[in-house]
Amino acid sequence: MSFALLILVLALYYYMKVQERHIYDSSNKIYKNEINSLMKLDSENLTSLIVEITYWDEFVTFLKTKNINWFNASVASIVNNYKVEYIVVYDLDAHFVTKVATPKIKTFDFIPKEAIRKVLNKKIDKFYLKIPEGIVEVYGATIHPSNDPYKNKTKPAGCFFMVRLLDNDYFANFEKISTSNIEFFTKSDNNIKSVSFVYPLKDYNQKIIQKLYFKRAYNIDFWITKFILTVITIALILSWIIYFYFANKWSKLPLSFIKKILKNGDPNAIQSLKNIRGEFRYIGKLFEENQLKTKELNLAKTKAEESDKLKTAFLMNLSHEIRTPMNAIIGFSDLLNNDTISEKERNDYITIIKQSGKNLIEIIDDLVEMSKIDSNSIKPNFTVFDLNEFVSFTKETYDLMQSNKEIDFKIITADSHLPIILTDKVKVQEIICNLLNNAFKFTKKGFIILEIGVENNSLKIQVKDSGIGIPAEFQLNVFKRFSKINSKDISANEGLGLGLAISKAYVEMLNGTITFESKEHVGTTFKVAIPIEIYESLPSNDEVNSSLVQELGNEEVILVAEDDNVNFLLIEKLLKNLNFTIIRAHDGNEAIELFKNNQEINLILMDIKMPNKNGYEAFEVIRQLDKNIPIIAQTSYSFEEEIQKIKDLGFSDYIMKPIDKNKLMKTLSKFIKID
The CATH number given to whatever domain includes residue 199 is 3.30.450.20
Predicted pLDDT at 546: 37
In a domain, residue 542? The reply is: no
Predicted pLDDT at 488: 53
DSSP helix/strand/coil, 365: helix
Clarify whether residues 124 and 184 are in a common domain: yes
Provide mean pLDDT across the span 588-613. 91
For residues 318 and 468, what is the distance between their CA atoms, to the nearest angstrom?
Answer: 24
Which of 323, 349, 377 is where one domain is finished? 377
Of 236-245, 362-371, 614-623, minimum mean pLDDT range: 362-371
CATH of the domain at 290: 1.10.287.130
Predicted pLDDT at 85: 93
Clarify whether residues 337 and 384 are in a common domain: no
Which of 502, 534, 566 is where one domain is finished? 534
pTM of the model: 0.41
Clarify whether residues 157 and 140 are in a common domain: yes
**Total number of domains constituting the chain:** 5
In a domain, residue 582? The reply is: yes
In a domain, residue 237? The reply is: yes
Clarify whether residues 581 and 653 are in a common domain: yes
Clarify whether residues 28 and 174 are in a common domain: yes
In a domain, residue 131? The reply is: yes
In a domain, residue 549? The reply is: no
Clarify whether residues 566 and 606 are in a common domain: yes
| 596: CB partners within 8 A, 6+ apart | 625
In a domain, residue 674? The reply is: no
Q: CA 352, 355, 361: angle at the middle one, nearest 5? A: 145
Provide mean pLDDT across the span 520-532. 91
In a domain, residue 543? The reply is: no
Clarify whether residues 88 and 176 are in a common domain: yes
Clarify whether residues 48 and 121 are in a common domain: yes
The dihedral built from the CA positions of residue 178, 183, 184 and 189, taken in this order, carries a sign that is negative
Smallest CA-to-CA distance from 531 within 503, 506, 510, 509 is with 510
The model's confidence at residue 541, banded by pLDDT at 50, 70 and 90, is: very low
Clarify whether residues 186 and 43 are in a common domain: yes
Condensed to tens digits (0 to 9), the pLDDT of residues 193-232 reads 788 889 999 999 999 999 999 988 876 666 677 778 788 8
Residue 179 has pLDDT above 80, yes or no: yes
CATH of the domain at 395: 3.30.565.10
546: exposed, middle or buried (Cβ count in 10 Å: 0-12, 13-18, 19+): exposed
CATH of the domain at 596: 3.40.50.2300
For residues 207 and 431, what is the distance between their CA atoms, to the nearest angstrom?
Answer: 77
More confident residue, 666 or 316: 666
Clarify whether residues 383 and 517 are in a common domain: yes
Residue 635 has pLDDT above 90, yes or no: no
For residues 260 and 613, what is the distance between their CA atoms, to the nearest angstrom?
Answer: 70
Per-position DSSP letters for 310-334, written without gaps between them: HHHHHHHHHHHHHHHHHHHHHHHHH
In a domain, residue 544? The reply is: no
Condensed to tens digits (0 to 9), the pLDDT of residues 463-483 reads 999 988 888 877 787 887 666
Which of 342, 359, 377 is where one domain is finished? 377
Clarify whether residues 256 and 306 are in a common domain: no
Q: Structural domain of residue 234, as residue ranges?
A: 224-271
Condensed to tens digits (0 to 9), the pLDDT of residues 97-127 reads 999 999 999 998 899 999 999 999 999 999 9
Condensed to tens digits (0 to 9), the pLDDT of residues 1-52 reads 556 766 877 777 777 778 777 887 888 889 889 889 998 888 888 899 999 9
Clarify whether residues 78 and 154 are in a common domain: yes
Highest mean pLDDT among 79-83, 138-142, 465-469, 545-549 belongs to 138-142
For residues 79 and 67, what is the distance between their CA atoms, to the nearest angstrom?
Answer: 19
Condensed to tens digits (0 to 9), the pLDDT of residues 293-312 reads 888 888 888 877 776 766 66
